[in-house]
Structure 1
């Protein structure tokens, strides 16, 4: 119950830890900016180091960048703290109690895990002569589930995390880049001790490389067994526990080629434990001593604070009863993994009693272990891994008692140590910034006085830019007042209308009127009503197909506006700030991202959002018109064409209720089928001509002629309404573009004190923008130093925010 309460209590730490994490990430990002800006300024100072004042500034910047209490030193400290911050963040969000289990080969680790998890060797295998654990495995107590969820590596992860370290250790250089290259790579079977000249691709000379060659050959020979899952789309798979072994262990036959474990990153096993603790998780760490991979250190670094307590299993056997170098290495790994809590809380040693070891030898071994662990307060447990009761009573229950007693304190200690480390970091950053600011005053004193000239030039540039934007705005405004539609949209409307009319003139898509007449007469002989409906639908679809491209013209109009504004800016700010191409404005925003120029940045951002905000022109304007080109809309007109109003319903020959004017129904029910040759069909009227309803029952030819007139009328009416509505909307869009341009002009060209923003923007580029005013040396360095000042100010604000987050209540 106490463990469950502690886990539930982690939730109260989450808001405070999240505030600290966000503040830390902001500080780290701004610190990188300052480091980059300082390097840029140092490089600029060194370019002109013949001038003594420049050389002095360059040396000062070098001292800030390198050496003790420097930016480089703090960069290392920031990176170290990142893993600590993320570990604490993961800790307070973890809703399980995780016990890591680590041990050398044959120590009995797998046996203990099987006892605790109530599983056999098919789920938690072990081998008598070679290591078996090949992936990090988590075992969850779950009364209702009995399965494993496997997370797979990608090819890139397998190459970088497995193949490349083995290549490096074997002295083979770079690993193959692709799966095919790996499959075809010629790996030597063994090392060579030939002292002669070695050619490219020759076997390594060092005998110590042999274990790495063995693993590489195994991975390559077995590649077909895991290639598909390594390269497949699925990154997670679920398997029954009975089928799990190949994914987590080496094959029992050392020469076996079925080794899918190479593709496995993590395994999560769900089963019922020996003791019913619902939130208990065992983290099975890989067997220590994996050749070339440093798997034990690599995985402990990965999990860091991802385990709440670590069990180190040791099994003294004959001739190895002492506490050797390997055991001290495990202690060091444990200290690294649990560095944010006391080692005595995080680590427990487990001595697995070997039945074949005499009592005296076992006591000597236990004494040796305790001599190492006692000074650090590390508790030593003794159990027989082969005995279920011993594992439960002498290992598992004491471990759970330890967690119940210490877990809450461990959580609090991890948080406080993180806070302490970050507080020290904020102080160190503050001290460094104070040194930079003191030096900056001297730098400004010795630099030539061209800041005033930069301000004057920035003011002139702003006025020039404002006038140019005003002229561009006036051109758009005149188009609005003169009723001139947007060129791109006007051209798209004309093109769409032309294509629809061409389609109609060429037999409504059939290829010619004679072909269309022949096909239509044949269709009218059997189902005239459906033919009317089909061909009206075809006309509607063709109009839709041609006019739906109108949206592209809207985008082109927006692109043109962007290009015109970018050209105005480029002419004054140079391509260094506003490059050519469609991404000119985004790249400008990127270039000024670190500067405090809110008005200019906001103006550019608003302009760049225009295309996203306006929506689809076709859907808004054209669709309501196009949908009226269908039989239902035109049927009503046919019903009232002759009399001016719909006649009273009458009974059709089939007994349906209808009308004398429903001639397509009369024909369908009463007329004898006719062939196209029975009655010649007159040429269809040109598009736009009116149609004439046939009197009485019509022939297929009559219906065909009438359909042509009907199609032409429907197309003419739709095109007329479409072009009128779209041109009217085009004028409205012109107004939108003009208004957008006015907002940009107002924000970028007429903001009060805008000269100060343009001074910041142009400072680093002053020699490019005004080569006749600035000679390039002092001005360029001054610009770099100004950017550095901006970065230092932002970093100081981030440090203050971090301090504020650290001084807030821990559980708030």
Structure 2
């Protein structure tokens, strides 16, 4: 079977490759569903507006009467069936048929299992739980998926109650335990016998509740294959005689049996024991169809020629109809269903059954609708050669075709749904245009307000800031008195530091340190050099204190600009402090709006990066004024250092320091226009970037659209509120159309 194995591996690989296409459509269908819910809310809001016309409400009602939920649910059902199909890691073969045709025997033979795992019997149904048998060379085990009470109620109790037309289904375990199924008048006098049987089953489930209630945990539990029967089989006749017969199988939702198959060594193979057709069980057929549609690639419909059953019965025709429902988009019955005749091929009844199947199921032509295979379910070799090999060959050849049919059908169904929704959206948009012409006036008003905002900003910036800074920067007579005073105060502080504070350590201590160092070194040079360096650094750092003033000037500019923006943007910046905080908040709005404004962001960020400092803008120009305190100058002034005493050294160094400070002061006073020049350049650049850049007009509209009601609250509140409601509907239409175009 090596060739078959390779082909099956190829099929599974192709499934994986196609999975993303289906998953994308599933997500798109969900997105459309969510957007339609949003649309419904918007339409209700618009329809409730007092100015909505009767004709407008007709358009809204027509749109809402479309069966969107049904269309999407149907499409999602097909897409998710296709997804489940493509997600399978194994090839799944379902075994179906009426009770007592040898299904369990066939499963035993394929998997090499016994009565403990796949029970068989005569006279009454035996298998109580759907089992999946997976070929494994690694494991020999059973994995049970247990019910919670909620799934037990929904999948087992509720179908019985619905079928019997009983009162509401018990909501809790305690409700089920106390429910009165023994009431005399619970069923009417003319109730069919089948309903009486179903009611008796409910009573037995209730009575046996202590035997399985503790297992209703919803967990997955691994158990050994020995002793599995109690979990998967109905009680035997003898066990039924016990009034307290346990029914542990009722807690089991699903069982996966992993073991090494005897009849085949093909990997990636799972055989599923489907519920018996025709069994007396509530909603059995619905569960059967669901199991077939979602989990199997091929169904083996087992028939067995026994006395009285060696013909194609009405029940078989009904079974074929059920299989047709499950087949769905697969075009040929013979691709999805194979009829398996189980028994002795030499018996007369066997031949009679084959002939009847040909006449009735295949319209007189062998294998016309259904391929018919023959096997003896008890013979492993025969099952392998006559059943499994042909089935696997069939799947290797046809499964990719079946997959394609399922996928194309799901895609086609979704495309039809898209087209229906697109048509409904077009009708709705046309209706809105005809019935709400005034809504478009807000767009014109918006454009006017945006342009007005830009003009008012540029006028305010120009008149209140840029022109004033220009006059200061370009007029030498326009002195910055505060800066001048700050520089002079700094010079006085240095003079005091030298003359009164003895270079910061006291005159007497300084002279004593000088004396001791000169005695040690037999020279004045070293001490004088070190002090020159210290004094020079101190003078420079002291003048750098004008940075506080310069920072204030920058903050004043930020404050003035933020006030202008605040004044012209309505309630946008309400609650913020003026200056840096307000501008930073403005940057956040530009960044986080529905539509971002990167150019405007950059203009404000560049303004916020403005920094005027002594070291960057003044120190390079006045550095030469401190040269009198460098080594060469010091040697020149102290050329007779060896004969200079410590007191004379103090006076000399004091004169040098004061002279250097004075020269620095003069240099700084000659450069007091620098801050004004920098502030003017920054303000002018900000104005240009904000108002005159190529992106300015576009980005101001983005800003306006993102924060329309904050910037112009009274204007748009005073407009007809219908406009906003219509706009909301149109936004959702746009959103839906975008999703649908992508989906298409």
For normalisation by structure 2, the TM-score amounts to 0.61
Alpha-carbon distance change, 292 to 754 in structure 1, aligned in 2, over 3 angstroms: farther
What is aligned with 1:59? 58
What is aligned with 1:248? 232
What is aligned with 1:111? 105
Secondary structure of 2:240's partner? coil
State whether structure 2 residue 716 is matched by structure 1 residue 757. Answer: no
What is aligned with 1:75? 69
Identify which of 567, 573, 578 aligns with 1:467: 573
State whether structure 2 residue 322 is matched by structure 1 residue 333. Answer: yes
What is aligned with 2:35? 33
What is aligned with 1:347? 337
State whether structure 2 residue 246 is matched by structure 1 residue 258. Answer: yes
State whether structure 2 residue 721 is matched by structure 1 residue 779. Answer: yes
How far apart in 1 are the matches of 2:62 and 2:84?
Answer: 37
Alpha-carbon distance change, 192 to 755 in structure 1, aligned in 2, over 3 angstroms: closer
How far apart in 2 are the matches of 1:219 and 1:795?
Answer: 50
Quote the offset at 1:240 in angstroms: 1.2
State whether structure 2 residue 350 is matched by structure 1 residue 409. Answer: no
Identify which of 204, 210, 215 aligns with 2:196: 210
Does the CA-based 8 Å contact 1:191-1:210 persist in structure 2? no
Deviation by residue 1:59-78 (Cα, 9 ceiling, x = unmatched): 12222222xxx3x1x43232
Secondary structure of 1:282's partner? strand
Does the CA-based 8 Å contact 1:136-1:266 persist in structure 2? yes
Alpha-carbon distance change, 461 to 449 in structure 1, aligned in 2, over 3 angstroms: farther
Quote the offset at 1:328 in angstroms: 2.5
Does the CA-based 8 Å contact 2:96-2:299 persist in structure 1? yes
Secondary structure of 2:383's partner? helix
Quote the offset at 1:125 in angstroms: 0.9
Does the CA-based 8 Å contact 1:141-1:280 persist in structure 2? yes
Alpha-carbon distance change, 382 to 784 in structure 1, aligned in 2, over 3 angstroms: farther
How far apart in 1 are the matches of 2:27 and 2:274?
Answer: 30
Does the CA-based 8 Å contact 2:141-2:222 persist in structure 1? yes
How far apart in 2 are the matches of 1:445 and 1:57?
Answer: 12
Deviation by residue 1:192-232 (Cα, 9 ceiling, x = unmatched): 6777xxxxxxxx9665532331222122112112111213x
Alpha-carbon distance change, 116 to 190 in structure 1, aligned in 2, over 3 angstroms: farther
Does the CA-based 8 Å contact 1:84-1:418 persist in structure 2? yes
State whether structure 2 residue 14 is matched by structure 1 residue 22. Answer: no
Quote the offset at 1:320 in angstroms: 3.9
Once the two structures are superposed, the pairs formed by residues 792-811 of structure 1 within 5 Å of their partners are 792-803=733-744
State whether structure 2 residue 730 is matched by structure 1 residue 789. Answer: yes
Secondary structure of 1:218's partner? helix
Identify which of 427, 434, 447 aligns with 2:426: 434
Quote the offset at 1:269 in angstroms: 0.6
How far apart in 2 are the matches of 1:411 and 1:359?
Answer: 34
Alpha-carbon distance change, 251 to 391 in structure 1, aligned in 2, over 3 angstroms: same
Quote the offset at 1:363 in angstroms: 4.9
Alpha-carbon distance change, 119 to 467 in structure 1, aligned in 2, over 3 angstroms: closer
What is aligned with 2:259? 271
Secondary structure of 1:466's partner? coil
How far apart in 2 are the matches of 1:92 and 1:461?
Answer: 61
How far apart in 2 are the matches of 1:326 and 1:598?
Answer: 65
How far apart in 2 are the matches of 1:25 and 1:137?
Answer: 32
State whether structure 2 residue 315 is matched by structure 1 residue 315. Answer: no
Q: Give 5+ residue unaligned stretches, structure 2.
A: 454-565, 598-698
Once the two structures are superposed, the pairs formed by residues 136-285 of structure 1 within 5 Å of their partners are 136-188=130-182, 208-231=194-217, 235-252=219-236, 253-255=239-241, 257-273=245-261, 274-285=263-274
What is aligned with 1:491? none
Alpha-carbon distance change, 753 to 145 in structure 1, aligned in 2, over 3 angstroms: closer
Alpha-carbon distance change, 366 to 184 in structure 1, aligned in 2, over 3 angstroms: same
Quote the offset at 1:771 in angstroms: 11
What is aligned with 1:371? 362
Secondary structure of 2:277's partner? coil
Deviation by residue 1:525-566 (Cα, 9 ceiling, x = unmatched): xxxxxxxxxxxxxxxxxxxxxxxxxxxxxxxxxxxx9xxx9x
Once the two structures are superposed, the pairs formed by residues 203-602 of structure 1 within 5 Å of their partners are 208-231=194-217, 235-252=219-236, 253-255=239-241, 257-273=245-261, 274-302=263-291, 304-342=293-331, 343-353=333-343, 358=349, 361-371=352-362, 377-445=369-437, 463-471=569-577, 597-598=594-595
Quote the offset at 1:35 in angstroms: 4.8
Secondary structure of 1:417's partner? helix
Alpha-carbon distance change, 476 to 363 in structure 1, aligned in 2, over 3 angstroms: closer
How far apart in 2 are the matches of 1:90 and 1:44?
Answer: 41
Alpha-carbon distance change, 27 to 793 in structure 1, aligned in 2, over 3 angstroms: farther
Quote the offset at 1:139 in angstroms: 0.3
Does the CA-based 8 Å contact 1:100-1:285 persist in structure 2? yes
RMSD: 3.9
Quote the offset at 1:246 in angstroms: 1.4
Does the CA-based 8 Å contact 2:337-2:370 persist in structure 1? yes
Does the CA-based 8 Å contact 2:312-2:360 persist in structure 1? yes
Does the CA-based 8 Å contact 1:81-1:421 persist in structure 2? yes
Alpha-carbon distance change, 354 to 210 in structure 1, aligned in 2, over 3 angstroms: farther
Alpha-carbon distance change, 311 to 450 in structure 1, aligned in 2, over 3 angstroms: same
How far apart in 2 are the matches of 1:461 and 1:106?
Answer: 88
Alpha-carbon distance change, 193 to 791 in structure 1, aligned in 2, over 3 angstroms: closer
Alpha-carbon distance change, 475 to 789 in structure 1, aligned in 2, over 3 angstroms: closer
Quote the offset at 1:131 in angstroms: 1.8
What is aligned with 2:457? none
Does the CA-based 8 Å contact 1:8-1:95 persist in structure 2? no
Deviation by residue 1:358-407 (Cα, 9 ceiling, x = unmatched): 46743553344443595863211233334444433322222122122222
Does the CA-based 8 Å contact 1:135-1:264 persist in structure 2? yes
Quote the offset at 1:311 in angstroms: 0.9
Deviation by residue 1:473-508 (Cα, 9 ceiling, x = unmatched): 978999xxxxxxxxxxxxxxxxxxxxxxxxxxxxxx
Does the CA-based 8 Å contact 1:147-1:239 persist in structure 2? yes
Quote the offset at 1:415 in angstroms: 2.8
Quote the offset at 1:171 in angstroms: 2.1
State the aligned residue count.
Answer: 515
Alpha-carbon distance change, 431 to 395 in structure 1, aligned in 2, over 3 angstroms: same
What is aligned with 1:125? 119
How far apart in 1 are the matches of 2:715 and 2:701?
Answer: 23
Q: Give 5+ residue unaligned stretches, structure 1.
A: 196-203, 479-560, 570-591, 601-749, 804-812
How far apart in 2 are the matches of 1:130 and 1:369?
Answer: 28
Alpha-carbon distance change, 788 to 192 in structure 1, aligned in 2, over 3 angstroms: closer
Quote the offset at 1:302 in angstroms: 4.5
Alpha-carbon distance change, 291 to 754 in structure 1, aligned in 2, over 3 angstroms: farther
Does the CA-based 8 Å contact 1:107-1:313 persist in structure 2? yes
Alpha-carbon distance change, 266 to 473 in structure 1, aligned in 2, over 3 angstroms: farther
Does the CA-based 8 Å contact 2:143-2:255 persist in structure 1? yes
Quote the offset at 1:436 in angstroms: 3.0
Does the CA-based 8 Å contact 1:315-1:351 persist in structure 2? yes
For normalisation by structure 1, the TM-score amounts to 0.56
Alpha-carbon distance change, 37 to 760 in structure 1, aligned in 2, over 3 angstroms: farther
